[in-house]
Amino acid sequence: MQELPDGIPTSRLEISAKAYRQNIRYIRSEIGPKPTISAVVKGNAYGHGIAQMVEIAERAGIRHFSTFSSDEAWLVRRHSTRKSEIMILGMLYDSELPDLIQAGIGFYVFDFDRLQKAIDVSRDLGIAAKIHVELETGFHRTGFDWEDRAQLASLLQEAKDHVILEGLCTHYAGAESVSNYVRVKNQIAVYYDFKNFLSENNLFFNRYHTACSAATLIFPETIMDMVRIGIAGYGFWPTKETFFAKLKDLPKANKNPLKRLITWKSQVMSVKKVEMGEFVGYGNSFMALKNMLLAIVPVGYGHGYSRLLSNSGLVLIGGKHCQVVGTVTMNAIAVDVSHLKDVQIVDEVVMIGKQKGKEITVASFSESTQQVNYELLTRLPRDIPRRIID
């Protein structure tokens, strides 16, 4: 399923299918029965692995996937067993258009260049491209501007026989914060102006879709026909603020309905005594202030364990929190295990996840490294094995 090197890697990831089912159940309860959920699997499925996430999501009933680029789209196609729909939000090369169109893979069209090429290729092939017309409403990255509307409408009119108007979409800038309410409201208004203009020109789309996780959860008017769910599907709140905004609506018994899927584990490689006054690791960033016992864990920045966690990261060993001492090196960290009774080589080490009732969350990492959840997850290297658990 996943191409792995020979031999046993230094750490492993477990991805919980049960947690995903719970997250989808919660999102479904928020959006009602009708809207389609598109599982956003860009960035190697936010680090969870595209192959694993396609399997887990299809088992949970998902039949629509969003990727950033065409290479990810083909990976989804390879691992999909339920003929799920695929939509590319970002990058593709012109040379790939014929194959993508033939495969029925939909894609965003955000400028006249791509629109014209999609029309030309569709006409040449005699196969209609599934296009999602992206509107600029305030994110200022990609999308047709309001000033483009007349030209856009006339081109789409001409192209109607050659392409399928699969979606009309936009992306919000700042839906993760209630304080951006005015900005998001403006974006919604611009979107509806566009939609009305196109409708008046007899241009109707199969699906109107605008919402990412944050918009879905805190701006329900953005839900429409489909929601594009990334981070919430993986069990994380887009921001603390989105969680607090929802908290009051949540049932008491289930204060956090989003469950983390990912667990990241390694094991103790070696155990070492350090005398008071000795420096640990490269340089002099850490000096032992007492006699210490250290465990060396074979995970470093080359494995996605950020260097910014030097002298601050925490892991779990024997159900206890243990702090990283010294700098994170390419392939290893040293952690203080002086407070543990008995540490053995190959004892389990948890970098993210639970152990004997204690937990290291991704959020606790992110605070100490200034990385958001998204970044830490997507930086987990592809060659760490990812195993689906229930």
Ligand X SMILES: *Cc1c(COP(=O)(O)O)cnc(C)c1O
Binding-site residue ranges for substrate: 141, 330
Question: Which residues within the stretch 342-361 sit at the binding site for ligand X (CB under 6 A)?
Answer: none
- DSSP structural state of residue 48: T
Residue 281, number of CB atoms within 10 A of its CB: 20
From the CB of residue 206, how many other CB atoms can be counted at a distance below 10 Å? Answer: 15
Residue among 79 and 132 whose Cβ is closer to ligand X: 132
Based on the residue annotation, tell me whether 282 is a catalytic residue of this protein: yes
Compute the distance between CA of residue 349 and CA of residue 351 in angstroms, rounded to an integer.
Answer: 6
CB of 342 to ligand X, least distance (A): 42
- Interface mask toward ligand X for 212-251; x: CB under 6 A: xxx-------------xxxxx-----x-------------
Q: Which of 27, 54, 89, 295 binds ligand X (CB under 6 A)?
A: 89
Q: Which is nearer to ligand X, 30 or 120 (CB)?
A: 30
The total number of residues written for the chain in this structure: 390
Q: Helices H, strands E: what count in the chain?
A: 12, 18
| Choice from 114, 171, 195, 260 touching ligand X (CB under 6 A) | 171
CA angle, residues 277, 282, 286, in degrees to nearest 5: 40
Catalytic residue flag (residue 42): yes
Q: Which of 181, 192, 272, 282 is catalytic?
A: 282
CB of 383 to ligand X, least distance (A): 24
DSSP secondary structure string for all residues of 293-346: EEEEES--GGGT--GGGTTT-EEEETTEEEEEES---SS-EEEE-TT-S---TT
The residue (of 89 and 101) whose beta carbon lies closer to ligand X is: 89
Q: Which of residues 252-311 bind ligand X (CB under 6 A)?
A: none
**Complex with ligand X: residue 237 or 301, whichever CB lies closer:** 237
SS3 187: helix
Smallest gap from residue 231 Cβ to ligand X (A): 4
Q: At CA 352, angle to CA 349 and CA 354, rounded to 5?
A: 75
Binding site for ligand X (CB under 6 A): 40, 42, 89, 171, 212-214, 228-232, 238
Query: Could you list the active site residues?
Result: 42, 282
